[in-house]
Structure 1
Amino acid sequence: MGKAKKTRKFAAVKRMISPKDIRLKENQAKQQKKEEEAKAKAVRRVAPVASSLFLAHNTALVPPYRVLIDTNFINFSLQNKLELVSGMMDCLYAKCIPCVTDCVMAELEKLGHKYRVALRVARDPRFERLRCTHPGTYADDCLVQRVTSHKCYYRGDLRSRTSTTHSSNTRHSTDVHRSEEVRH
C-alpha cells in the first residue's frame, strides 16, 4: 500500500486585525482629524477684487459702453423689430459699441437658415468682433468668462436677473441700479 499524499496546510493561524487597521473606530477618528487639519492648512485662492470696483460701483464702465451680445439677444431684438445700436444708445444714454465674440458667430452659423438675418446683423461693421482663444463654441461660458475677467463690458442678455442690459417686452432695459428701467 502506498502512502497518501497530504497537502500542506498554510495560513492555518487565526487572522487578526492589526491595531493600525483603518477599519477600527479610533483610527477612523484620527484619519478624519488629519483630513480636517490638512483642509485648515490648505491655501485658499480667492479671486482678487478688480481695482476698478469702488464698493458696488464699477468705474471701468464709462462711455463708449461695450456691450457683449449673445445669440438670443440679437434674435429677440429682430423679432421685436428693435434696432440694436440705437436701442442700446437710448437705453444707456451714451454711445454703445456692440461686441460679438467668435463663439456667438459660430453659434449663429450652426443654427443655419432660420438665423440667417441674425447672422447678417452680427456681421454689421459697427459691431466689434472679439477673438476667442478657448476651445469649443459654447457662447454662454465664453461671455461669462470674458465679463468676469474684463470689467469693462456690459452683458446684453434676455434674463434681467443675471445681466446689466437685457431685452424685455419690445424694449432694451438696464439694471444699473437694479430698480431703474429705461424705455424707448
Structure 2
Amino acid sequence: MGKQKKARKYATMKRMLSLRDQRLKEKDRLKPIKKEKKDPSALKEREVPQHPSCLFFQYNTQLGPPYHILVDTNFINFSIKAKLDLVQSMMDCLYAKCIPCITDCVTAEIEKLGQKYRVALRIAKDPRFERLPCTHKETYADDCLVQRVTQHKCYIVTTVDRDLKRRIRKIPGVPIMYISNHRYNIQRMPDDYGAPWF
C-alpha cells in the first residue's frame, strides 16, 4: 500500500501576520498587555443579591389581613367566564378582608381590548378597587406587576397566565391566586394565615 497523496485544498486561507509579529514596524505592532497583580491582602468584593428584610426563612411578614391583591387582566376575564364576584370570592378564599388593587397598566390593557370586554372594564373601575398609579411609560401589564411585586412584598398576585406565574414564582415570598374548578385557589401562602392550601 502506497502513501496517499494529500492534494492541496482549493481555497486555503492566506496566512496573515499576527499583530505581535517581529517583522512589523513598531507603530503597527500590538502593545503587550500588562496584567495587574492582585493584592492578596485586599478585600474581595462579591455581589450577593440582598434579600428583603420582610422575609424571614422565606416567610413574608408583610402579608396579613387586610390583604392587598394585585389583579391581572386575564384574571378579571376568567372570573367573568366562571361567573365569580371578584371581591366576594377573594374573601371566601382567604377568610379575611381583601382589597383588590388595579394598576394603570392593567386598566389600559383592558381598554385596549375594545368593546367586547366592556364588562371587565366596568369591574376594573369598581369603587371597591384601589387604584395604583404607574410611573413608567410602557403599558405591558405583566412587567408592571412583576416590578411592583419585587419592590413591595405586601401583595398577592392574581393571574391565570402561565408565563406570569412562572416569573412570580422566582420572587420569594409572593403568593399567587388563580382560578380552578370555578373557585379561587392560592399558592405559596404561609400556613399560619389559615388560607386553604391547594
Per-residue CA distance 1:37-79 (angstroms, 9 max, x = gap): 9xxx996544321111010110000110000001000000010
Aligned residue pairs total 153
Q: What residue in structure 2 maps to residue 168 of structure 1?
A: 180
Deviation digits for residues 60-107 of structure 1 (CA, Å, limit 9, x no counterpart): 001100000010000000100001001001111110000000000000
Q: Secondary structure at the match of 2:114?
A: helix
**Residue number in structure 1 paired with 2:77:** 75
Deviation of residue 18 (structure 1)? 4.2
Contact 2:59 2:190 in 1 (8 A): no
User: Given the alignment, which residue of 109, 120, 125 partners 2:122?
Assistant: 120
Separation in 2, partners of 1:116, 1:98: 19
> What amino acid is aligned across from residue 155 of structure 1 in structure 2?
V
2:101 to 99, 102, 106: 99
Q: Structure 1: which 4+ aligned runs deviate by more than 6 Å? A: none
Amino acid aligned to 2:107: M
The residue type equivalent to 1:126 in the other structure is R
In structure 2, how many angstroms separate the alpha carbons of the residues matched to 1:122 and 1:20?
71
Give ranges in structure 1 of 5+ residues lacking alignment: 1-14, 22-29
Relative to its length, the structure with more helix (as a share) is: 1
Distance 1:42 1:119 in 2: 54
Task: Give secondary structure in 2 for the equivalent of 1:100.
Answer: strand
Alignment check: 8 A CA contact 2:66 2:98 kept? yes
TM-score normalized by the length of structure 1: 0.73
DSSP 3-state at the match of 2:181:
coil
Residues 18 and 136 of structure 1: CA distance in aligned 2, closer, same or farther (over 3 Å) = closer
CA distance in structure 2 between the aligned counterparts of 1:93 and 1:17, rounded to whole angstroms: 74
Give percent identity, aligned residues only. Answer: 57
The residue that corresponds to 2:20 in the other structure is: 19
Cα offset for 1:169?
2.4
> Aligned runs of 1:32-181 on 2, under 5 Å?
45-158=47-160, 159=162, 162=169, 164-175=176-187, 176=189, 180-181=197-198
Which residue of structure 1 lines up, in the alignment, with residue 29 of structure 2?
none
C-alpha deviation, 1:16, in angstroms: 5.2
